[in-house]
Structure 1
């Protein structure tokens, strides 16, 4: 697990080396163990290493036999050993025992086809010194980040955007089209980032850059189909695939631990892994401290558990640093506890497993269509779902906008996914966001235009509306929010996070789970929970999903924290983005308890804090913030 950065630009090697070293030094947290640089007057490849596999011999860049190819690789490949044996049989000579060198020789042997053979998480580049061509790729689910920019005669890339800010020819400019979608989705929802001209390489894609031209191609996509499997067969396949993936991802030359929350996903992973150490975090104050249930589960499974509680003072002190590590604003409140959970685990370990991806692959969100507990409504809706598509949609149109008991549940289950579902987060309605924004920030892709890019891929596929929602989340919410914060918050503390549920082989199993076993009997992830129950107490395998509960409602009605947020909202630069009067009214009405505007306020506060870090203070890592007077402190 590492950080990579580099650029293509004809310069003398000394100048290249200085620039690329600056680019990698700023992300030294991703790889504190060692650094590596390659320059040849055309390309500069930089690398920071966190040693996990082949601790003595895995330094990068790594070269092939004749030094015509050089690779820098961020991630882990879990099936590298059999591929290494195969490549040796084909005549390749290895100088290390690292998984990175397997990718390099695999590319040398099979070209882009190597991506179909790799099982793991990754973002990497390979420079062909003879053809002056750069090849790069990102893993199938977008677990590892990859950013790129092309302008002013330079092509540059990095694991984190802050690396690009170090290049003397990078022009830092806010992307005005990013803000309006963010206010609805809560995360960077478009391919171009909040930094104008900086893009994300999409999950499951690779590129080739030659002579100033970049060609991008898709090599992988998640596939959903409808099958007639029995529940017993489905549960057996899920459990077998989970066991296999966890076993594969335990491979390391260092100890592997596990995060442990009160939810079924991380609990399933921990129960199967049986690590020496598990870690939990919570907020002091009762209902927000799920570390209590995590400790109870650890005791029942006879696992060691380390847990801590944090409070609002600590959260606000570190919040600017959290945004600095994120690179872009993400107002998912769980970024805060994940940051501190990662720090906790990093005191002992370099690698942990976690449960990201299970909700998307196995339908774990209530927004997929669990909006009532009334059995009559649920039974009636299930009967209506058997009607022909046109009739179902007509009934959905009749229900839309009505407020009778169960109307939301019926509409969500009868309407086409394209019309009723935009993903897991919806903070501001589009019209509401537009009315709050200044004119320069209203011209942006619409919510429908953004989600239609994914829905278009499954239109006419014959899969259920529920599976269409899963497909959208796998390509929007998961890489844009869940995996972005998972990578950035763990790597902030030089901690590698592995996610066993996001595995190509496990995706094959998830894709053929019958829709009726995804959500059933009021339970999301129905078949998945049955599989988890083979290893967990019933109370853990069937516990309602909480996410990462964060007490932002309490914070925003606490005088101290309200004052911090209001101080931010009052800053002169705020008026260039928002109707400042309306913004302050929203904050004050929430503080008085007249409305519940916590998520909207937190979303705007997150953006403004991020803007302050990267534009007002020029992207320097912030000092810790005092919650007593909001002034900086050493």
Structure 2
């Protein structure tokens, strides 16, 4: 787990940008405090920050490799972990290749030489990497199937830069002639969805290589990503005794994934909340590390903590458990620092306790496992039940359906049956937009008067829905979340909050072999018997403690609604809004009015307010340069 920067010059003048790349690396010190280095030729400059996890004494980057006739042909910078590197290394050795290190990075570049661009199909892990071929003068970039590891890029007439974090590209903006104007379309998408959807960023000149994509680039060319991963889900129901075979396959795939995710030359721990996902991971991890440490976080307010359940699970598993309680003062005080680490705001308050539990875990371990991805792969969100409850509406003739929809919209608010009628007669493409949206368009215009209807969430979701027409409704919702909520919120906060603390987070559910099994699960094994993730729960019956097997998912709940209405955060929120220099973006009086309405109990605006507040803090740091995030500048243990 590390941080990379790669610049491909348009005019074979790469040496002029060595200083810019070196200056961009300290922005990502937290991603790789163990070592740093650069390499260049006439076309490319690579920079790297290393967090040493595997082959600690060697495997420094940028890494050079080539066949016997050209031993320095390739240069590699790589962020992530390849969990099947031992098996891949054995396969490549049998094919006649030799290795100079014991690390996983070298298997990528050797694999690229052997398999070409198809190397991504052979990698089992999380990754974002750049390979420069000094012979063909071609750069190959790739990002893992699910988007666990980030990869930003920007192109100007002077060249193209790739980086693990946007901060490093911002640091190079003057050197490469990059326009730092904000993208209003991306701002509206953020306020609408609570995250910036890929491939956008809030800076119009900076974009992201999307999950499951590769890029092949020569000097002076435009970045044109190619998608290599297109998920699909089964529509065939499981019959007869084959359910048990399915459960066995799920358990076997997950156990194998956890075993491979435990590969490291440092201590591996595990996050543990009160739900089945993290408990399953921790229980399986304990089999490979009898001295496993687990970590959780919570709040003092009753109903907003899974600390007690997690402690009960830890005792049942037989692991040492460490707890971090977050106070409202700590919560508010950490926001500027957190927004700096995020690069673009994510309006999910759960990332704050995640930041603190990562900070605590880093005192004890260098790697942690976590349960992200289980809901998207196995059907874990309660909203996935909706297609089943609305199934009778599918039998209504289309003209009558449209008439009933018009009727539903004129019925009085709060009238019994209005919501069911409206949802049942609305196509899924217009009804479901992921887990995040908190503003309707009228509310959106209240805070950003310039909002355009054509820029709403459907602009993001329509292409994803268009690619899933052959799937059942539940699978279409899962597929949408894979490309929106999961990679825009869940994986961003997982990467950024843990790397902020130089802690590597691994997610065994988001493994291509686990997905190979999960995509075969039919809807009658996901949402059934009044629960979610049914097949996963059945598969884990003999593995996880009974008290969490059917427990409702909570994650890291935050008492935001109470804090924004009370003395804990109301004053902080009011001061943040009044001090913000975002008048050209937000209607500040309306935002203050929403805060007052929330305090008076007129309406619960907590998520809407948090979306605006997070942006204001971000804007104060990256645009106004008014807010000091309080990041301590550190020096590398080796010179650049």
Q: Structure 1 length as normaliser, TM-score?
A: 0.92
How has the CA–CA distance of structure 1 residues 503 and 623 changed in structure 2, closer, same or farther, with 3 Å as cutoff?
closer
How has the CA–CA distance of structure 1 residues 154 and 363 changed in structure 2, closer, same or farther, with 3 Å as cutoff?
same
Aligned to 1:3: 3
> In the TM superposition, what is the alpha-carbon distance from 1:436 to its structure 2 partner?
2.2
Q: How does 1:160-309 map to 2 (within 5 A)?
A: 160-167=165-172, 168-169=175-176, 170-213=178-221, 214-230=223-239, 231-274=243-286, 275=289, 276-309=292-325
Aligned to 2:638: none
CA distance in 1, matches of 2:301, 2:126: 37
Question: Is the aligned partner of 1:433 residue 2:444?
Answer: yes
Q: Which moved more, 1:491-500 or 1:507-516?
A: 507-516
Aligned to 2:373: 357
CA distance in 1, matches of 2:601, 2:394: 44
CA distance in 2, matches of 1:619, 1:111: 46
Aligned to 1:544: 552
What SS does the aligned partner of 1:22 have? helix
Superposed CA offset, 1:241-296 (max 9, x none):
11111111111111111000011110111111114100010011221121121011
What SS does the aligned partner of 1:114 have? helix
Aligned to 1:374: none
Aligned to 1:94: 99
CA distance in 2, matches of 1:419, 1:443: 13
How has the CA–CA distance of structure 1 residues 221 and 618 changed in structure 2, closer, same or farther, with 3 Å as cutoff?
farther
Q: How does 1:508-547 map to 2 (within 5 A)?
A: 508-547=516-555
What SS does the aligned partner of 1:143 have? coil
Runs of 5+ consecutive residues of structure 1 not aligned to the other structure:
372-377, 625-634
What SS does the aligned partner of 1:177 have? helix
Aligned to 1:448: 458
CA distance in 1, matches of 2:44, 2:139: 9
Superposed CA offset, 1:167-191 (max 9, x none):
1233322211111111121110252
What SS does the aligned partner of 1:180 have? helix
Superposed CA offset, 1:67-125 (max 9, x none):
11100010011111121122122222211011110000100111111111111100000
Q: Which moved more, 1:409-418 or 1:12-21?
A: 409-418
Aligned to 2:80: 75
CA distance in 2, matches of 1:196, 1:386: 42
Q: Which moved more, 1:512-521 or 1:210-219?
A: 210-219
CA distance in 1, matches of 2:545, 2:423: 32
CA distance in 1, matches of 2:482, 2:401: 25
What SS does the aligned partner of 1:622 have? coil
Confirm or deny: 8 A CA contact 1:337 1:548 kept in the other structure: yes
Aligned to 2:635: none
Confirm or deny: 8 A CA contact 1:324 1:613 kept in the other structure: yes
> In the TM superposition, what is the alpha-carbon distance from 1:308 to its structure 2 partner?
1.5
CA distance in 2, matches of 1:344, 1:438: 42
Superposed CA offset, 1:421-459 (max 9, x none):
0001111112321232143x5486221121011011112
Superposed CA offset, 1:285-322 (max 9, x none):
22112112101110111111000211110011111000
Instruction: Tell me which of 327, 330, 343 is aligned to 2:343.
Output: 327
Aligned to 1:417: 428
Confirm or deny: 8 A CA contact 2:281 2:369 kept in the other structure: yes
What SS does the aligned partner of 1:18 have? helix
> In the TM superposition, what is the alpha-carbon distance from 1:21 to its structure 2 partner?
1.4
How has the CA–CA distance of structure 1 residues 593 and 472 changed in structure 2, closer, same or farther, with 3 Å as cutoff?
same
Q: Which moved more, 1:207-216 or 1:191-200?
A: 207-216
Confirm or deny: 8 A CA contact 2:186 2:196 kept in the other structure: yes
What SS does the aligned partner of 2:492 have? helix
CA distance in 2, matches of 1:618, 1:39: 36
How has the CA–CA distance of structure 1 residues 146 and 619 changed in structure 2, closer, same or farther, with 3 Å as cutoff?
farther
Q: Which moved more, 1:33-42 or 1:474-483?
A: 33-42
> In the TM superposition, what is the alpha-carbon distance from 1:483 to its structure 2 partner?
0.3
Aligned to 1:458: 468
CA distance in 2, matches of 1:141, 1:609: 29
